[in-house]
Amino acid sequence: MIKIAISGAAGRIGRTMFKSLIGSTEFEAVFGVDVNGADDLPYPVYKSFDAAPLDADVVIDFSSPAALDDILAYAVRTGAKLVLATTGYSPEQEKRVEAISHDVPVFRASNMSLGVNLLGNLAKEAAKFLGEDYDIEIVETHHNRKLDSPSGTALTLADEINSVREGSLEYTYGRHAAKHRREPNEIGIHAVRGGTVVGKHEIMFLGTGEVITLMHESENKEVFVRGALRAAKFLMTKTSGLYNMTSIIAQNYAVTSVRSEKDVALVTLPHIPFDEFLGLLDAIKQSGVNLDMISHHFNSDDTAAVSFTLDDASLSKVEGCIPTGLVSKTLRGAAKITAEGAGMEHKSGVAADVLTALRGAGAEVFAITTSEKQISCCIDAKSLSAAEAAVKSYYGIK
Ligand X SMILES: NC(=O)c1ccc[n+]([C@@H]2O[C@H](COP(=O)([O-])OP(=O)(O)OC[C@H]3O[C@@H](n4cnc5c(N)ncnc54)[C@H](O)[C@@H]3O)[C@@H](O)[C@H]2O)c1
Q: Which stretch, 56-64, 278-286, 334-342, 358-366, contacts ligand X (CB under 6 A)?
A: 56-64
CA distance 27 to 160: 33
8 A C-beta contact, residue 230 and residue 177: no
Candidate list 10, 100, 331, 354; residue touching ligand X; CB under 6 A:
10
By CB under 6 A, residue 62 contacts ligand X = yes
- Please report how close the Cβ of residue 11 comes to ligand X at its closest, in angstroms: 2
Nearer to ligand X among residue 87 and residue 247 (C-beta): 87
Burial of 144: CB neighbours in 10 Å, binned 0-12, 13-18, 19+: exposed
Residues with a catalytic annotation lie at: 142, 146
Q: In the β-sheet with 257-272, what is the strand arrangement from edge to edge? A: 294-298, 304-311, 257-272, 329-340, 374-379, 365-371
Nearer to ligand X among residue 7 and residue 338 (C-beta): 7
In degrees and rounded to multiples of 5, residue 126 shows phi and psi of: -65, -40
Candidate list 224, 234, 243, 366; residue touching ligand X; CB under 6 A:
224
Paired sense of beta strands 241-243 and 105-108, if any: parallel
Q: Site map for ligand X, 342-371, x if CB under 6 A?
A: ------------------------------
- Please report how close the Cβ of residue 112 comes to ligand X at its closest, in angstroms: 4
Nearer to ligand X among residue 231 and residue 378 (C-beta): 231
Candidate list 29, 112, 242, 335; residue touching ligand X; CB under 6 A:
112
CA distance 193 to 141: 6
Residue of minimal Cβ distance to ligand X: 11
- Please report how close the Cβ of residue 30 comes to ligand X at its closest, in angstroms: 16
8 A C-beta contact, residue 269 and residue 305: yes
Residues whose CB is less than 8 angstroms from the CB of residue 163 and which lie 6 or more positions away in sequence, other chains included: 124
Paired sense of beta strands 210-218 and 365-371, if any: unpaired
Candidate list 2, 3, 43, 64; residue touching ligand X; CB under 6 A:
64
Q: Site map for ligand X, 175-214, x if CB under 6 A?
A: ----------------------------------------
Residues 16-45 that bind ligand X (CB under 6 A): 33-36
Report the chain's C-alpha Rg in angstroms. 27
- Please report how close the Cβ of residue 9 comes to ligand X at its closest, in angstroms: 7
- Please report how close the Cβ of residue 56 comes to ligand X at its closest, in angstroms: 14
8 A C-beta contact, residue 71 and residue 80: no
Nearer to ligand X among residue 142 and residue 373 (C-beta): 142
Centre a 10 Å sphere on the Cβ of residue 212 and count the other Cβ atoms it contains: 13
- Please report how close the Cβ of residue 170 comes to ligand X at its closest, in angstroms: 25
* Residues near ligand X, by CB under 6 A: 7-8, 10-14, 33-36, 62-64, 66-67, 85-88, 109-112, 224
